[in-house]
Structure 1
Amino acid sequence: MTVRALVADPAAQEGIGLGEAGDPDPRPDQVLVDVRHISLNRGEVAFASRFAPGTTLGHDASGVVARAAADGSGPVEGARVVVFGAGAWAQRVAVGTDSVAEVPDGVDLADAAALPMAGVTALRTLRSRPILGRRVLITGAAGGVGRFAVQLAALGGARVIASVGSAARGEGLAELGAHEVVVGLDGIDRPVDLVLDNVGGAQLVAAWRLLAPGGDIQSVGWASGEPAAFAPHSFFSLGPSRSISTFGDATRFGPDLATLVEFVAEGRLSPEIGLRGAWDGVAEAARALLGRQVSGKAVLDVEPYRRDAGGR
């Protein structure tokens, strides 16, 4: 038996095509989810060609539990859930119960689908050090991670500086909690305590020069695709050490997903969906993401799973 899925396809536009995958056979600690919505992350789209043809792509999805975990953990059959798991861009996905959270009544499943990778990345990087009363710089703030980070940093009591590529890309960020919205790093004349960098390249180097003693840069993306060339001795400074950290923690998403979806339910966090469509329009959505034409997240609706005479 098979399900429809978005798979790596060298012959398709942007390297992603609608194909088929095996109907998942969950482990005892996994739930089987009928997927309703998925969200695309720019990195996943950009690197789709690195996967073997036929690989089911993606990590972010929301839907309804079709079969509860055999070990008794996690949500029950029929529960509305948001999930993070490899191969999530399919009609059905099996996901460990430690990477699933129930979606509260009143929260749209499409909104929930926008949360996993970008939302948890923003949440976990902001937890790297205290931010109450600190100056937090978020580069690439108009993107998926950036818009979540602006909101969460403001909720945490930070002075939020949102950096974008153009004035148009900065629209709406002040309403989300940014105290300052700048193009590039122009106009930032005081040191910052924490940087969430989504851009890399020359902007990462410039952000390092803005970092206060004891500060940290969390490198979570590299949208520029350019190398970062640091001048000799530029890492030396007197006082408390400064640092650059990388982010790659993609385990046990469930508790953080529960936090994020509860923030949405309480009206404290907006999913910021900038593109919504059907999953057969994935090529157009992928091009829009790669062309930086989407502010926030791209969410696609999935064709419902139906078991027919052919086994689907």
Structure 2
Amino acid sequence: MMQKVSRIGFVLLPGFAMMSCSSALEPLRAANILAGEELYGWRLLSLDGAPVVASNRLRVEVDGALDDVEGLDTIIVCAGGNPAEFDDARLWRWLRAVARRGLTLGGVSAGPYLLARAGVLDGYRATVHWEHAAAFAEEFTRVELRSSLFEADRNRLTCAGGVAALDMMHHVIGEAHGFALARAVGDWFLQAHVRPGEGEQRLGLPERLGVRNARLERIIDMMESRIESPATREELAQAAQISLRQIDRLFAEHLGMGAEAYYQNIRLTRARELLRQTNLPITEVAMATGFSSASHFSRAYRRKYARAPREERV
């Protein structure tokens, strides 16, 4: 018996991440070839039916505009760059209308951010690229944000982006047509290890820092998890089971700076993400990143970035 063809529309937005989009689309082509029949069909859509320029500046022709959704079962939004800068009321209305029709909605890379802005992820589990996670959590409190590679919650698919879309499509194909076919697709793309959805998005601390020191890792873990209410030196020392005097020695030896300076850099990096990707008032950004006052925050921000926080939004 011939299986029903699943038809997927990929909505390409200006500056979309080519790698994420390709990683979501190419497994469908491979599944068709390996199954010996058409299991999947797809169309590329843009806001107005015009070609779209990707993040790598390649110009991509599409098959139609947003209203060309007849016969589609799933819509996947492909975006990139800073999604906070994208604002198109047509897209929000269209996504809500598609959701009301019961289609499966997905997003890769910055796509989940835009789905959340349209309100179609409220009450769902979702993930987004780690670069956008802090801003996402602040703005979309009705979405259950996870730090996973991908999430499949009922008729919502969200993926952090990059090659994680391959892992997501392994899950999608496996659920629909069996994991023998999904594994064959993985082999086709030399995907020797398929990661589960709950896998980590980023390298572990030793790989990111180029340092292997268990005490240092425990301290930085605590720092990264305590942004809004920074841990005290005593708490950091207790986490690593070292003395207060040893903390700065540990950071100076391995990272070339003191613990306080390193911690402030973590918080200022988060603040910059919030300034660029949300409309939170500067005083709220200061509070969300553990600064006691807006003036203290502004001074620290200017020292690090040679510009005032308000200039990030000019």
Give the TM-score, by structure 1 length.
0.26
Give the TM-score, by structure 2 length.
0.25
Higher relative contact order, chain-length normalized (CA < 8 Å, sep 6+): 1
